[in-house]
Structure 1
């Protein structure tokens, strides 16, 4: 989610959107768990061919 320094996931089957990784702090820190990790302006896209998964991270400049 832009501005939150987190990677969010959205389940298209049940419509639930939630934090996938990142604790919201703007840092570059590998944490011991996905929710204990800090990102500094994450942006990009990654596809996993083994799992039906698309991760899209957008950076908005207003």
Structure 2
């Protein structure tokens, strides 16, 4: 299933595929784009905790 993730303005294009954002694809996205929520959160929540709890896809 898809997950919510912040987007940069440059990502809002006609080619944007919202189905590409899943719990399995987010680690690579974070490695590439960085944590876009980090500056907005006082204490970021580690994604690894959710990866362990996510069912195998």
The bucket for the TM-score relative to the shorter chain is under 0.3
The TM-score with structure 2 as length reference comes to: 0.27
Larger helix percent: 2
**Whose strand proportion is higher, 1 or 2?**
1
Greater relative contact order (Cα < 8 A, sep 6+): 2
- TM-score, normalised to structure 1's length? 0.26
